[in-house]
Amino acid sequence: MVTQYAPSSPRPGFWAALDHGQQAALRSAARPRHFPVKAPLVYQGDESDHVIIIERGWAKVTSATEDGHDVVLAVRGPGDLLAESAVLGGRTRSATVTALSPIRALVVPAARFTGFLDAHPEVWMLVSGTFIQRLDDSDRRLKAHVTSRGTQRLAQLLADLAELSAHHTAPAADGSIEIGPPLSQEELGSWMDASRETVARALNGLRREGLIRTGWRRITVVDLPGLRAFARE
């Protein structure tokens, strides 16, 4: 069984945790690149030869199942480091990362990235912490899959995405938060292990409760504390 979403506390991205000197050194080792919507940043199964740091935009992380379906595992946004485990571990890519919106990124060849880490050994801990946090997120996904019904899992997912989005875009004057990653109902369902129809019903229910507003690939959280409380019921 592929484990799905569970909430985790939003945290600053890899880039934001670096000081200005570290950012300058890493930028000098990188080459800038732009990815259009739906463009793959990395492919599952590819050999590792670089890491990517997202400067602007959002991407989804997916894994192909044995029957050929793509399962959404996570989203990555501004400041996030991609493909670090494959480079540091010398393994092939474990997932595909695809642009959900236009992305501006820094691409750092593996040798230059490890050289940067050798020159700034304190960053090794940050990279290791990123890797461990993502393992912890996988454990929480499994627990949520077992213990929560579909509407609760969606409420948890949307609340966490709203908090993540608030790190990059200030809430509106009325306190509402528009979720940054432009995820479809099908992608939300894949992430939380539910059908598109289940997601549609859950969204309708959350709208009736006055917790969210929705549009095409757009979800705005109107009452974040209320959404969290609903997810815990």
Pick the last residue of a domain from 92, 112, 140.
140
Q: Are residues 24 and 130 in the same domain?
A: yes
Final residue belonging to a domain, choices 93, 108, 140:
140
Instruction: Report the CATH number that the domain containing residue 175 is assigned in CATH.
Output: 1.10.10.10
Do residues 119 and 93 lie in contact, with contact meaning Cβ atoms separated by under 8 Å? no
User: Quick one: pLDDT band at residue 136, thresholds 50, 70, 90?
Assistant: low
Say what the pLDDT of residue 135 is.
64
| Mean pLDDT value of segment 49-78 | 91
In a shared domain, residues 28 and 97? yes
181: its two tokens: 């990653």
Residue 81 lies inside a defined structural domain of this protein = yes
The number of domains in the chain is: 2
Residue 157 CB burial class (10 angstroms; 0-12, 13-18, ≥19)? buried
- Three-state DSSP class for 18? coil
- Give percent of the chain with pLDDT exceeding 90: 58
Which segments within the chain are labelled E, that is strand? 31-35, 40-42, 50-56, 59-64, 70-76, 81-82, 96-99, 103-109, 177-178, 212-215, 218-221
Question: 50-59, 60-69, 209-218 — which one is most confidently predicted on average?
Answer: 50-59
On whether both 134 and 169 belong to a single domain, the answer is no
pLDDT in the model for residue 93 = 84
pLDDT recorded at residue 207: 96
Residues 19 and 126 in one domain: yes
The span from the CA of 120 to the CA of 123, in Å, is 6
My answer on whether 104 and 44 are in the same domain is yes
- Which of 118, 140, 162 is a domain's end point? 140
How far apart are alpha carbons 146 and 140 in whole angstroms? 10
The token pair that represents 83 in the structure block = 């493909």
The answer to whether residues 31 and 92 belong to one domain is yes
How many Cβ atoms from other residues are within 10 Å of residue 220's Cβ? 18
Quick check: 203 and 230 in contact, CB under 8 A? no
pLDDT tier for residue 5 given thresholds of 50, 70 and 90: very low
Q: Check whether residue 133 and residue 153 sit in a common domain.
A: no
Whats the size of the chain, residue-wise?
233
Q: What is the pLDDT of residue 227?
A: 95
Q: What pLDDT is attached to residue 3?
A: 37
* pLDDT tens digits, 149-203: 778 889 989 998 999 899 888 889 999 999 999 999 999 999 888 889 999 999 9
177 with 97, same domain: the answer is: no
Are residues 107 and 217 both part of a single domain?
A: no
4 belongs to a structural domain: no
* CATH code at position 80: 2.60.120.10
In a domain, 10, yes or no: no
Predicted confidence band at 4 (pLDDT cuts at 50, 70, 90)?
very low
Q: CA–CA separation, 73 vs 229, rounded Å? A: 24
154 and 127 fall within a common domain: no
CA 57, CA 14: separation in Å to the nearest integer?
A: 15
Could you tell me the residue range of the domain that residue 43 belongs to?
A: 15-140
132 and 200: one domain?
Answer: no
| Same-domain status, 134 and 58 | yes
Q: In this structure, is the dihedral angle defined by the CA atoms of residues 154, 156, 159 and 160, taken in order, positive or negative?
A: negative
In a domain, 187, yes or no: yes
Q: What angle do the packed helices 122-147 and 110-119 form, to 10 degrees? A: 110
In a domain, 199, yes or no: yes
Q: 156 near 144, Cβ under 8 Å?
A: yes
Task: Work out the mean pLDDT of the chain and round it to a whole number.
Answer: 86
Most confident of 27-36, 93-102, 191-200: 27-36
* CA proximity to 184, closest of 210, 219, 211: 219
